């Protein structure tokens, strides 16, 4: 697996716990950064990156120059599918959260190449963005695609999706908003399904209470396409926020 492929299989922000020491669900890797990605971090950040280091609530109207429904993606990898979705959905604002510098640089290059005004990125721990920078009912859609499955049993505590995470995001998602998930790790998919099916305030949009077919709005990534050719499965879930 190349460095870029590893970033396509994303490692998103931290896994929160309200009353226990926080266990991070990501590890910062020293991946190679191209000169173009480095230049993008330096030159494009003032235009497309939001600074959340002070821990203050984001002014979304100022950040995007308008008021519009907000889509948040945790762990966008190299940003290709994230930017593709934003380009196809100009009536909504897209905020991407990613900790790995090469991915952030690559994503901003794509945003700039396409001249998109509805996309901003944050290079920061997703836990801190969710708990400090976004307010109640601020998110229309929360997307987490192919989070690190931490397959070894002793590492399962690092998985992003757990009951504490669901408790954290519930008040951030507006009434009728969605949580969209996808993974190529079946055991993790079943765990996600059980957690959200048991969570108060969320309704499974699948009629049978299970998984949904791959939605047309979620682009097929290079990593996913290769997996399909090898016969690997992918499981999608969509939950709606309801009281």
- Active site residue ranges: 148
Q: How many CA atoms lie within 13 A of 195 on its CB side?
A: 20
Environment class of 67 (CB within 10 Å of its CB; exposed 0-12, middle 13-18, buried 19+)? exposed
- Nearest CA to 34 out of 124, 105, 122 is that of 105
The helix (H) or strand (E) run that includes residue 114 is helix 101-114
Q: Are 115 and 91 in contact (CB under 8 A)?
A: no
CA 73 to chain centre: 3
119 strand-pairing partners: 94
If one counts every other C-beta atom within 10 angstroms of the C-beta of residue 174, the result is 16
């Amino acid at each position: 697996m190349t460095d870029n492929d590893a970033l396509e299989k994303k490692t998103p922000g931290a896994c929160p716990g309200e009353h226990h020491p926080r266990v991070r669900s990501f590890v910062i890797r020293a991946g190679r950064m191209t000169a173009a990605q480095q230049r993008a971090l330096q030159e494009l950040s003032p235009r497309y990156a939001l600074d959340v280091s002070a821990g203050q609530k984001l002014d979304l109207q100022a950040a995007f120059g308008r008021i519009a429904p907000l889509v948040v993606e945790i762990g966008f990898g190299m940003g290709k599918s994230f930017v593709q979705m934003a380009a196809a959905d100009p009536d909504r604002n897209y905020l991407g959260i990613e900790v790995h510098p090469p991915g952030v640089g690559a994503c901003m290059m794509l945003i700039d190449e396409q001249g998109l005004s509805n996309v901003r990125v944050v290079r920061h721990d997703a836990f801190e963005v969710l708990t400090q920078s976004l307010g109640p009912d601020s998110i229309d859609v929360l997307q987490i695609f192919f989070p690190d499955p931490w397959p070894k049993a002793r590492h399962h505590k690092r998985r992003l999706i757990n009951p504490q995470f669901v408790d954290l995001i519930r008040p951030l998602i507006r009434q009728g908003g969605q949580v969209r998930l996808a993974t190529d790790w079946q055991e993790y998919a079943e765990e996600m399904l059980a957690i959200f099916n048991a969570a108060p305030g969320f309704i499974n949009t699948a009629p049978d209470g299970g998984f949904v077919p791959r939605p047309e709005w979620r682009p097929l990534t290079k990593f996913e396409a290769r997996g399909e050719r090898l016969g690997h499965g992918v499981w999608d879930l969509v939950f709606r926020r309801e009281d």
